[in-house]
Copies of this chain bind each other. A is one copy, B any other.
Amino acid sequence: MGWLKWKWIPSLVFFLFLLGAWQIVITSFHVPLWLLPTPTRIAQALWETRQLIWSHTLTTVAETTVGFALAVVFSLISAGVMVLSPWIKRLIYPFLIISQTVPLIAVAPLLILWLGYGLLPKIMIVMIICYFPITISLIEGLELPDPDYLNLLRSMGASRWQIFHIVRWPHALPLLFAGLKIAATYSVMGAVIGEWLGASSGLGVYLTRSSHSFLTDRVFAAIFAITALSFLYYALISILARLALPWIQSKNHDSH
């Protein structure tokens, strides 16, 4: 439980302080509920609709997990291909950059139009959002090992594949995990955008319905659930990274 360390205590205290301040300001200024609810109201809404939120969360988790996994698979394939063939890289790389500038919220409705209202378009949106940071960091990691390492292995007569899995891949792992963390942070947002644009269940649906019913406390409950879910993914990836990178782990430990 690395994240439950003493050093986070001040942050936690600060967070509770902020919540308290929020509560006091709202109640003392009589801000109406539909404008900004108090933390206790939000907690109450969370508790009252916990079953509803839970069932919506399951949908979102399914979309996010599948989309994320697919993004990882595609990243591995395309980064691998681009690293093994510089020619293909030169062909595709500019599109990677440009694709990132295409506004997702404008394209998402089209995706839904083409792919229907099932899980598919949300999975696609999550995948698109996650694909870029993972691929970019993976390519960088696979390409940047010290050429001296590569030459050493070449001098030993290692095959391309051996060089890949002995040098390039372990060298790319830390960067890959950095990319995965970013992707995890954004993945839930991708699913919510997708659901917002058309779905029958999911946290995005819960969010829209609450907002259309002027239930601002539930809107905040939805925001809380989405944030918590994203953070959970982030924490999971962080723990996975610790396990997968023992040498980095030992390095950081030694130097502190």
Shortest A178–chain B CB gap in Å is: 10
Beta-carbon nearest neighbor of A189 in chain B: B103
A7 touches which of B15, B90, B109, B188 (Cβ 8 Å)? B90
Number of chain A interface residues as a range: 35 or more
B227 and A103: CB pair below 8 A? yes
Known: A98-B231, A101-B230. A192 touches B10 (CB 8 A): no
In this assembly, does A226 line the interface, its C-beta being within 8 Å of a C-beta of chain B? yes
Inter-chain contact B223/A102, CB cutoff 8 Å? yes
What separation, in Å, do the CA atoms of A227 and B103 have in the docked complex?
Answer: 7
A91 at the interface (CB under 8 A from B): yes
A94–B226 touching, CB < 8 Å = no
Would you call A234 and B189 a contact (CB within 8 A)?
no
Question: Is residue A104 within 8 Å, beta carbon to beta carbon, of the partner chain?
Answer: yes
Also in contact, A11 and B91, with CB within 8 A (given A101-B185, A109-B211, A196-B105): yes
Given A106-B192, A192-B106, A10 and B91 contact (CB-CB distance below 8 Å): yes
Interface residues as binary, A191-204 with B (CB distance below 8 Å gives 1, 0 otherwise): 01100100000000
Mask of A40-51 contacts with B, CB within 8 angstroms, 1/0: 000000000000
| CA A110 to CA B1, docked complex, whole Å | 35
Asked if A151 is an interface residue, CB under 8 A from chain B, the answer is no
Q: List 10 A-B residue pairs with CB atoms under 8 Å apart, sorted by A's residue number.
A: A97-B234, A98-B227, A102-B223, A102-B227, A103-B192, A106-B192, A106-B207, A106-B222, A106-B226, A110-B219
Known: A11-B90, A15-B95, A102-B227. 11 other contacts (CB 8 A): A8-B94, A11-B93, A36-B114, A97-B185, A97-B231, A101-B185, A101-B188, A101-B226, A102-B223, A106-B222, A109-B211
- 6 tightest CB-CB pairs across the interface, nearest first? A101-B230, A11-B94, A103-B226, A103-B189, A101-B227, A106-B223
